[in-house]
Structures are given as C-alpha cells and as structure tokens.
Chain A
C-alpha cells in the first residue's frame, strides 16, 4: 500500500518555519521536523543515536541526549549550526531553513533536559 503525503502537515510545518521557535511550540514543531526530515534514521526516534542506519556506520551518530557526545557544542545555536553546516561525519542539511533548524534544536535541547531529569540517563 502506498501512503500519500500528509500535505496539511507539510504545509503546517512550512508555515511554522516562518515563525520563531519559542518554548514548547518550537519544541513540538522541532519534534515533527525531526521526524519529517528523517533525523531518526541515524539518531533514533528519541535522539539516542540508535537509529536503524547507526549500526552500520563506522562513526556512530551522536546520542543527542548526552551533551558529552556533541562535536560542535550543545547550545541551540550550536545545534542549529551543526544541522545546517554539518558536524563531524554528519553532512550539512543546507535546505533546512534557519527557523526549522532552530525548532529542531529546541526539541533536541528538550531531550537534553529530559536526560538530566531524575530517572533519566546521566
């Protein structure tokens, strides 16, 4: 069965890209964009670096919940820059706009917070 693209979702995300990332809204858009652009293929659905492509890569993808594995820095700006310019073995995703990269970074930073919360991984 061939699925059809959820165009309303795509249009919503493109529209959202024009807005500035802010708080939970930016994080939620970032979560959707992370899935839309297939970041999970390498970094895994929760950003832990355990995506299906990861196991056969010589350079393992960063566990985004663990800031110690970051190559360029772990601030939102650093992450957005890594997405658009590349970092280490990760290629540059130049088509991702500044606003989109900012939203994805906001979601990734929220994963960092989650990992530091009680019960999360250190």
Chain B
C-alpha cells in the first residue's frame, strides 16, 4: 500500500512528466542527476525576484546579495515534503561549519491564497533555524516558480482542505545571486553541506 508520502512523490513525478517539455523540476530526479556546483556548469535559469516576507515587508533576492541562499518551494500545511526539507536543510547547515551563519534559507509558498504573511509568521516561529518565508500574489509566485523551473498544482482532497503537489528541489544560490545547483528532495545533508561549503568559500 502506498503511503501518503509515496503518493505525494508519485504525484510530483507525474506532474513533472506532464509539464516536462517546459523543463520543470519535479523533485524526483535520479541519484547523481544534480547539476554541478562548478561555476562554469551552473544551471541556465533562476534569477532575481521580489515577494513579501512574513513581516509583510517586500523582499528582493538582491537584498541578500553577498550571502549564499538555500531556497525551496512549499506551503505551510504541507504534511511531508516541507517538514522533511527543513529538517534536511537544518542538518546541512549544522555540517557546513561556522560560516554557515552566512546562509539565508528561503521558503517560497506555492499556496499564496492561504499562506498570508501572518500565517507565514506563525509557521516561521516553529523553527529555531532562521527562515525567511515568502508569499505574494498568485502571479508573483507563478513568476518566481517559472524562473526556477518549479511547478505546483492544487490537489483537492474531498474535504475543506487541499494539498499542493509541488517541486521539492532545494536550490543553492551563490553570493552573486546565481543559481549554482539544485538538489533532489532526499539528497543527503552531507552532500548539501559539501556544496554549501564550496559556495561559502567563494569571495563575496
């Protein structure tokens, strides 16, 4: 019997397959499929964006220029991928050494209808690992997802709630604001930490 997590992963894969022509990430890449952290082999997508943070302030990616960024897409009532991803990022930061204090972790909500700044603020308080949670209009969020080849889709559950299938990749953005690498959702924290250290070692 498939667990809820397995169904979600399968759903993410199917979603990716359905829109695969656009090159969207589905969070179900094969082992070893991640792009290289080498500067000359970075993915040819990504870019600056502006959204609204949990304090209802506008947040521009360029505001944190000079600091490495780990970013993922999700939603606050995600029952599986997002909690696991935050736990994984926490593990990577703890392994990346003292300079990991420079890393900014961004959570971009793909459920802007429900994830208001107030909801995000309460969610962020649940983590002692510093986290910037972002939301925006549906158009703004769709634009950011498109920039990073991310996908998402609302899945009704037959109740008052709904799920959102979404790209579960973790994006590593360097000090210059360039996407350097992305990781599948179940990448080991050691691998994430290793890539993070390489980017942290680069000059601002």
* Interface residues in chain A, defined as those with a beta carbon under 8 Å from any beta carbon in chain B: 1-11, 13-14, 32, 35-42, 45, 51-53, 55-59, 86, 89, 91-96
Beta-carbon contact of A51 and B90 below 8 Å:
no
Contact with B189, one of A11, A41, A95 (Cβ below 8 angstroms): A95
Cross-chain pair count, CB within 8 angstroms: 120
Q: How far is the CA of A9 from the CA of B78 in the complex (A)?
A: 27
What residues of chain A lie closer than 8 Å to B13, measured between beta carbons? Answer: none
B30 at the interface (CB under 8 A from A): no
Shortest distance from the beta carbon of A118 to any chain B beta carbon, whole Å: 29
Further 19 A-B residue pairs, CB within 8 A, beyond A4-B130, A52-B125: A5-B100, A5-B103, A6-B128, A7-B93, A9-B128, A10-B100, A38-B86, A41-B76, A41-B83, A51-B126, A52-B119, A52-B126, A53-B79, A53-B126, A56-B161, A59-B79, A86-B5, A93-B84, A93-B87
29 residue pairs A–B, Cβ–Cβ below 8 Å: A2-B67, A3-B130, A5-B103, A7-B99, A7-B101, A8-B98, A10-B90, A14-B94, A32-B128, A37-B87, A37-B127, A38-B87, A38-B126, A39-B126, A40-B127, A41-B123, A42-B79, A42-B83, A45-B126, A51-B126, A52-B122, A52-B123, A52-B125, A53-B123, A56-B114, A57-B77, A58-B157, A91-B4, A96-B87
Shortest distance from the beta carbon of A39 to any chain B beta carbon, whole Å: 8
List which B123-173 residues lie within 8 A (CB) of chain A.
Answer: 123, 125-130, 132, 157, 159, 161
Beta-carbon contact of B122 and A36 below 8 Å:
no
How many chain B residues touch A (CB < 8 A): the figure is: 48
Beta-carbon contact of A91 and B83 below 8 Å:
yes
Q: How far is the CA of A41 from the CA of B159 in the complex (A)?
A: 21
Shortest distance from the beta carbon of A1 to any chain B beta carbon, whole Å: 8
Are A36 and B77 CB-contacts (below 8 A) given A4-B130, A5-B129, A10-B100? no
Closest to B128 in A: A35
List which B67-84 residues lie within 8 A (CB) of chain A.
Answer: 67, 76-81, 83-84
Beta-carbon contact of A14 and B87 below 8 Å:
no
Are A91 and B76 CB-contacts (below 8 A) given A10-B94, A11-B98, A14-B94? no
Beta-carbon contact of A5 and B87 below 8 Å:
no
Beta-carbon contact of A2 and B91 below 8 Å:
no
What residues of chain B lie closer than 8 Å to A89, measured between beta carbons? Answer: 4, 79
Shortest distance from the beta carbon of A96 to any chain B beta carbon, whole Å: 7
Shortest distance from the beta carbon of A98 to any chain B beta carbon, whole Å: 14
Q: How far is the CA of A96 from the CA of B89 in the complex (A)?
A: 11
For A11, A57, A91, the residue with the greatest tally of chain B CB atoms inside 10 Å of its CB is A91
What residues of chain A lie closer than 8 Å to B98, measured between beta carbons? Answer: 7-8, 11
